Chains A and B, each alone.
With several copies, the nearest count.
Chain A
Amino acid sequence: MTHPYIPNAGPETRAAMLAEIGAPDVAEFYRDIPADLRLDRPLDLPEPFADEQGLTRHLRGLLARNTDPAALLSFLGHGCYPHYVPAVCDEVNGRGEFLTAYAGEPYADHGRFQALFEYVSMMAELLEMDVVNVPTYDGYQAAGTALRMAARRTGRARVMVSGATAADKLAKIRDYLAPDVEVLLAPVADSGELGEVRLDDTFAALYLETPTVHGVVETRGRELAELAHGVGALLVVGTDPISLGVLAPPASWGADLVCGDIQSLGMHPQYGGGQAGFIASHDDERLVAEFPSRLFGIAPTEVPGEYGFGDVFYDRTSFALREEGKEWVGTAAALWGITAGVYLALMGPQGMRELGETILARTRYAMRALAAAGAVVRHQESVHFREFAVEVPDADALLAALRGRGILGGVRLGPREVLVCVTEQHSVADIDTLAAAVRDALTALAAAAPAPAPAAPAAPDAPAAPGAAT
């Protein structure tokens, strides 16, 4: 059988094509590869499945070793969020046209350009900023690049970064800026918001997140913007756009660059495969010049009334300039951008507002329910969006106990700290289930061991577990 993926692999076809070329055999084309570099044996790989059915059985068998997600009630977040994905999002990103397109020109791929232009335009409305990039890999990368952009724009080599940032993300930012930019850590206040920071004119940027790693919504935005602007630094804000139906967009209180991940906007968690990053700025020519990413813009064509699309200011990219371009650009996460556009078009302004209200309400409900269940809720007086941290005598023991009831109770931030995530997918009944299980578990733990001293909050930059929560 000629392999279904390789139409010309049949011996007759191969012979006819070789004849047309005038080559004796395929080995001829490899003659530039020295003999001592040739692999003189077949690759040692597992036996393949010649039939699709066998392949399917094999793969489904492997996947069946994962616990059925439907059998788990999960409160995991910490950078990847279980929001509801409308069916239309999957329908659109499953279309072969979008799924298998790549880097075509604006004419043959007019639809791809338009869909991505619309994505950036809808994000721009949500963010109240005029410039949004075609997605980069993820929110980590977006933060690293936004800070490098700030450094280039200001010509300065230090940035102040909020300590209320996920440890892995902080590490990535440090690594990414290391050659050129020094990263200083800003303290976190008891409220969970950014603490007192001092900046001077050596700082390129102040970076903060809202909601923070602990889900705390920053309330001093305008003050911090003024602080940064006062020394000529930029205010760079990391946020999740899903919060912006109810929260004021950072630009409205002075942010110069806003960045984050769009996984919340219509992407399934996919064991980390749904991440995509955005960076936004105002339409300031000098900041636009610092974007490494592609920017898609609308343009007239020869025919009046037509909309064409193309790259805005292409001659700043590594595609155009190699190492002289801004950082680099490459394949990243465009399809998730299109999907986020579908999500925002479905939701509209009212949907985003209602969603935000529901998440705020349920987050607070969950905080109260867990407090009533005996957990110590951190930053209890602050406004939280979607996440909050609780202190418990033994995070591992608690999570294990919950696990026994089919609940993934949260992400372990430290030996005594667990981060709980509540989205619109968690009904009040789900939260009550969690709270009841937490109460039982804490009671059992207390009975099993003498009560420890109150837990110290985990250091904000303590490394998280490498990949798994428990």
Chain B
Amino acid sequence: WDEEIVFELSRPGRRGVGVPAPEAPLVELPEGVARRTPPALPELSQNQVVRHYLRLSQETLGADFTIDVGQGTCTMKYSPKVNDSFARDPRVAALHPLQPEDTVQGVLEIYWRLEQILREISGMARVSLQPGAGSAAIYANIAMIRAYHAARGEGEQRDQVITTMFSHPSNAACAKVAGYEVITLMPDAEGNPDIEALRAAVGPRTAALMITNPEDTGIFNPRIREFVELVHTAGGLACYDQANANGILGITRARDAGFDLCHFNLHKTFSTPHACGGPAAGACGVSEALVPFLPGPVVDRAGDSFTLTVPERSVGKIRPFLGVTPNVVRAYAWVMALGARGLREVAETAVLNNNYLLAKVARIPGASVPWARRRRVEQVRYSWQRLAEETGVHSEEIGIRAADFGVHYWTSHHPYVVPEPFTLEPTESYSREDLDEYAAILAHVADEARKDPEFVRGAPYRQTVHRIDPTALDDPAQWSPSWRAYLRKHGAKRPG
């Protein structure tokens, strides 16, 4: 589709939907309070709105449509349609979050049940389902860590958080927001976070270690318990970012390795849809010692009924109300479709798929696998370094060309510790033939790069639009973060 911007479709006087008449006397607003000029919103009939947005949807490559193994670290898995039907049920969708508890027993029970499930999966004492997403859960964990140390009178003293380069950037960023100095451990020659660097870093100023495992490289740190113990010995807490939990469900548990806190992303491991980037949902699990600090309220069971309680020393609300309920419902339904055996099949199959794809990709000339001798769990961070040296084509350019074949492809978070990176995570949702097809696309594009690097650099060729000039996005004189800014800066209705 060559779909115009919604403002360009506007014609005066059109309307997409009617509004009820006041039925009561109009209110005269005081001068300065009333809006004088109507907002320059577009005016469209309903059919036009539908057509516009449905066309835009078709220009969006949702996981429902593609072999979505190329967004490594994102755990793109099938989000069962039946779970959407529960989330859209009026008995979820139409519930107000401040209704009396006795009118929402069903939804409270689902919160309670999912908490029990996540307790068992993590080994933790309690789990809060309040955070709106993974980073919010990380923030909630750091807020609990801060409150914990403050309650012990060590709030001032413990002002450092240690994390690793292959943990999600939000671990570093949230700790910073919470007032901590951040120390980042780099990988050692084996691809593990450097334990000697940790030894050097821990001490009386250590508030916590915030670490992913397996890291975004797909490597499981075999000395993780030592990491936790080093931090504990120094009086710090150990906090487990379980964004990469998909490959270890039922295999190993956060608490068993000694962690004090952990979090899951329900929109990754537990299949709730990614929704273009949220609404998502996060879950924070904590050990007994941290239970009093959990965000409130939590759901308690009393006989057959369920009530809301605020933990004694709660850090307060991380998010308004109880949590992202539709996703809590979806995640619960997902687990209930799988059970313990199913979750283990999820983990094992995700890991099998990852290693199968690894075997295929490793054979593509130009692709390489840093720390190649290490085993991988759920994903792999690969490198096109050799291909780039040979052809001058960079990983980002490979990715844009791959889009022409209807697949996503993600490099990695900055900084690129692995040169020319790309990150694949097949999860359990994709079939063997899917993995073969994805690997074949990469091999094809690598071949193109060797034969005609300029051709690859000129991509995309089969998308709605062609290569974007990025300078217009970083130059304050040109950038246009809204249509009104665009009209002001560029005047003409169409660029160029």
Within the complex, what minimum Cβ distance (angstroms) separates B285 from chain A? 14
Contacts of B32 in A (CB 8 A): 219, 221-222, 248, 253
Contacts of B470 in A (CB 8 A): 299, 310
Least CB separation from A223: chain B residue: B32
Q: Is the CB of B319 within 8 A of A137?
A: yes
Q: Is the CB of B85 within 8 A of A90?
A: yes
Q: Is the CB of A107 within 8 A of B403?
A: yes
- B480 at interface, CB cutoff 8 A: yes
Within the complex, what minimum Cβ distance (angstroms) separates B151 from chain A? 14
- Which among B23, B40, B356 is the interface contact of A362 at CB below 8 angstroms? B23
Q: Is the CB of B483 within 8 A of A346?
A: no
Contacts of A22 in B (CB 8 A): 359
> When each residue 171-190 of chain A gets 1 if its CB lies under 8 Å from chain B and 0 otherwise, what string results?
11001101110000000000
Q: Is the CB of A468 within 8 A of B99?
A: yes
Known pairs A4-B46, A51-B18; A29 contacts B351 (CB<8 A) = yes
Known pairs A101-B61, A272-B97; A357 contacts B17 (CB<8 A) = no
Q: Is the CB of B468 within 8 A of A5?
A: no
Least CB separation from A96: chain B residue: B64
- Which among B86, B251, B484 is the interface contact of A125 at CB below 8 angstroms? B484
- B469 at interface, CB cutoff 8 A: yes
Known pairs A124-B482, A141-B319, A217-B33; A306 contacts B121 (CB<8 A) = no
- The residues in A between 318 and 371 inclusive whose CB is less than 8 angstroms from any CB of B are 318-323, 325, 327-336, 338, 341-342, 344-355, 357-358, 360-365
Q: Is the CB of B496 within 8 A of A305?
A: yes
Within the complex, what minimum Cβ distance (angstroms) separates B297 from chain A? 4
- The residues in A between 115 and 143 inclusive whose CB is less than 8 angstroms from any CB of B are 115-118, 120-126, 128, 130-132, 134-135, 137-141
Contacts of A357 in B (CB 8 A): 22, 26-27
Least CB separation from B315: chain A residue: A175
Overall SS of chain B's interface? loop
- Which among A131, A176, A253 is the interface contact of B481 at CB below 8 angstroms? A131
Q: Is the CB of B413 within 8 A of A319?
A: yes
- B441 at interface, CB cutoff 8 A: no
Contacts of A219 in B (CB 8 A): 30, 32-33
Contacts of A202 in B (CB 8 A): none
Least CB separation from B101: chain A residue: A468
Q: Is the CB of A8 within 8 A of B349?
A: yes
- The residues in B between 472 and 496 inclusive whose CB is less than 8 angstroms from any CB of A are 472-474, 476, 479-486, 488, 494-496
Within the complex, what minimum Cβ distance (angstroms) separates A160 from chain B? 20
- A24 at interface, CB cutoff 8 A: no
Contacts of A2 in B (CB 8 A): 13-15, 45
Alpha-carbon gap, A16 to B356, bound state (A): 10
Contacts of B372 in A (CB 8 A): none
Known pairs A125-B41, A137-B133, A350-B43; A107 contacts B351 (CB<8 A) = no
> When each residue 47-86 of chain B gets 1 if its CB lies under 8 Å from chain A and 0 otherwise, what string results?
1111011111111111111000001001011111110111
Contacts of B335 in A (CB 8 A): 45, 48
- B222 at interface, CB cutoff 8 A: yes
Q: Is the CB of A313 within 8 A of B428?
A: no
Segment with Cβ contacts to B, from A55-63, A435-443, A448-456: A55-63
Contacts of B358 in A (CB 8 A): 21
Alpha-carbon gap, A159 to B182, bound state (A): 26
Known pairs A5-B47, A285-B476, A319-B169; A466 contacts B308 (CB<8 A) = yes
- B267 at interface, CB cutoff 8 A: yes
Contacts of B6 in A (CB 8 A): 118, 121-122, 341, 345
Alpha-carbon gap, A314 to B136, bound state (A): 20
- The residues in A between 42 and 86 inclusive whose CB is less than 8 angstroms from any CB of B are 42-56, 58-60, 62-70, 72, 74, 76, 78-80, 82, 86
- The residues in A between 22 and 50 inclusive whose CB is less than 8 angstroms from any CB of B are 22-23, 26, 28-34, 36-39, 42-50
Contacts of B11 in A (CB 8 A): 7, 13
Contacts of A269 in B (CB 8 A): 93-97
Known pairs A29-B352, A272-B324, A349-B39; A110 contacts B465 (CB<8 A) = yes
Contacts of A86 in B (CB 8 A): 16-17, 82
Shortest Cβ-Cβ A-B pairs, 4 listed: A179-B179, A48-B339, A272-B321, A111-B59
18 A-B pairs with C-beta separation under 8 A? A7-B430, A8-B428, A10-B13, A29-B375, A37-B257, A59-B332, A88-B50, A92-B54, A108-B463, A117-B483, A245-B35, A304-B494, A318-B173, A335-B277, A336-B279, A352-B41, A358-B22, A468-B99
